[in-house]
Chain A
C-alpha cells in the first residue's frame, strides 16, 4: 500500500506537470516556470510565518501569490526596459535568497528545511494523510488531484483562447481577448502545479517535469492535441521508470525521475534526427529517378 501511494504520487506529478508544460513551451515561458519554482519557496515561507502552520492549503495560497508576484515583477521590469533574461534572473534569485534567509531565521526547526524543499522526499508522502469526505489519502495525492482538476478545467474552458493568444498575440488582443488576464491565470496554474508537486519531487525537479516531457513531445508532435497526449505519457512513464530505477539503485527518487526525463529527451532527439535524415534521403532518391 505504501509503495502504491508513492507511485500514484509520481504518476500524478507526471500527468499534472505534463499538461501544464505544453503551453509553457509553446509560449516560450519555460524560464518563468523555473523562476516560479524557486520563488514558491518564498511564498511557502511567508505562508508559514503568517499562519504558523504547515497546512497544505495555506501553502498553496502562499505559493500561488508568490507565483503571480514573480510573473508580475518580471513583467514590470521587462516593460521598463530591462532585457527579459535579466528581468527573470534578478527577480527569482532575489526572492529565492529572501526565502532561504527567512527559513533559516524563522523556520529552521520545522520540517520546512531548504534541502527538503529543493529535493523533495516522495517516500515520506504516504505518512502525511488527510481525510476528506471520509476518504483517507496522502496529502500530496489530494493536492495533486485538486491541481490536476484545476489544470484540466482551465484548459477545457480556455483552450481556444490560450491557443489564439499563444500563436497570434496581437490578433487575440485586437479581438478583445483579455490576454494579460489569461497570462496571469496561466501563471497561477503553473505556480499551483509547482507547489503541489514540490512536496514530492522538490522545487527544482518540478522544472524537469514541467519542461522535459513537453519539450520531448514538442519534437515529435504535429498538433497541440497530439503534444498533450505525448507530454502526459512521457511525464507518467518518466515518473514510473524513475521510481523503479531509484529503488533499484537505492538513490534519490526525484533526482532519478529528472534523469529519466533527460534520457527520454536524448533518445527522442536522436531518433527524430535519424528519421529526418532518412526522410531527406528518401526524397532525394525519389528525385534522382
Chain B
C-alpha cells in the first residue's frame, strides 16, 4: 500500500500542512490572509522570469524567482495602500490579477521558446503533489523544517508585534525587521507549497487551518498547535485519499480535507460553534441562565 514514493509524498504534504498552518496563523491574526492569496498568485511571473533568464528548470532557481516576485507583490500592496486612497481590498485584488496576468504572458512566451519544453512550468499552477521527485521532496522537507523552526524560535517576538506593536516598539524591538522576517517566512511557505498544491490552492492551506484553529482556541500557542496539526492532517488524509484512485488530483483534495476540518469546527466547536450558540440561545430563552 505505502509503496515507495507515496510514503515520501505523505511526509512532504504533512510537513507542508504543518508549516502553512503555523505561518498562516500569524498572517490570519494580522488580518492579512488574502495578502497571502495575492502573494501565491504572484509567484507565477517569478518562475517564468527565472526560467527565461537562466534557461534551467532547476527547482532552487525557480523558487528564488518565485520568492522575489511574491515578496514584491506584498510590497506593491503596501505601497498602494500607503500612497493612494485605494483601500486594501482593491490593492490586493489589483496586484493579484495583474501579477497573474503578467505571469501567464511570460509563461506563454516560455512555452513557445525552443528551451521551453513546457509542461514542467505549468505544473506550478495546479501543483503535482503525487508526481514529485525525490529532489523536489528534499527541498520541500528542508524548507518546511526551516519554516517550522524559525516560527518556534521567533514565537515570542512575533506574538508581541501582533498583539501589542506599540509596546514592542517601546521596549526596543526592531518591529519593522521582525515584520519583514514574518513576511519572508510566509513567502517561503507559499513558494514551498506551490509545487505540491499549486499557486491557486496554496492560499487555502494558509487560511483554512488558521481560521479553524481560531474557532477552538483562545491563546496563540494552542492556536498554532491546532492549526499546525489541522494542516498536517489535511495533508496526510488528502494525499492518502487521492492515492486511492487515479484521476483524483491531490491539491484540491487536501484543500477539501482542510475545509471539512473547518466545517466541523464551525458547527461543533464548544466555544464558538453554531451548535453551542444555538443551545445557549435556547437556554437563555427558557430563562435558565
Residues of A in contact with B (beta carbons under 8 Å apart): 25, 28-31, 33-34, 38, 77, 80-83, 85-86, 88-90, 93-94, 96-98, 100-101, 104-105, 108, 114-115, 118-119, 204-205, 207-208, 210-212, 214-215, 218-219, 246, 249-252, 254-259, 261-262, 265, 269, 272-273
Contact = CB atoms under 8 A, between A and B. Distances in A.
9 contacts: A83-B31, A89-B37, A89-B204, A89-B208, A90-B211, A100-B249, A100-B252, A105-B248, A269-B83
Contact of A97 (B37, B101, B251, B272): B251
Contacts of A115: 122, 125
B89 interface: yes
B92 interface: yes
Query: Could you tell me the dominant secondary structure of chain B's interface residues?
Result: helix
A24 B76 CA distance: 21
Interface in B248-289: 248-249, 251-253, 255-256, 259, 262, 266, 272, 274, 277
A200 B249 CA distance: 26
B34 A88 contact: yes
Contact of B203 (A81, A93, A98): A93
A118 B107 CA distance: 14
Contacts of A105: 247-248
Contacts of A83: 28, 31
Given A86-B207, A254-B104, A212 B98 contact: yes
A178 B32 CA distance: 31
Contact of A90 (B105, B112, B125, B208): B208
A265 B91 CA distance: 11
B101 A256 contact: yes
A27 to B, nearest CB: 10
Contact of B255 (A34, A97, A218, A249): A97
B108 interface: yes
B97 interface: yes
Contacts of A98: 252, 256
A114 B126 CA distance: 9
Interface of B: 28, 31-34, 37, 41, 80, 83-87, 89-94, 96-105, 107-109, 112, 122, 125-126, 200-201, 203-204, 207-208, 210-211, 214-215, 247-249, 251-253, 255-256, 259, 262, 266, 272, 274, 277
Given A101-B249, A118-B125, A219-B84, A255 B103 contact: yes
A262 B94 CA distance: 8
A89 B248 contact: no
Contact of A119 (B104, B248, B259): B104
A257 B101 CA distance: 8
A259 B102 contact: yes
B90 A255 contact: no
B41 A204 contact: yes
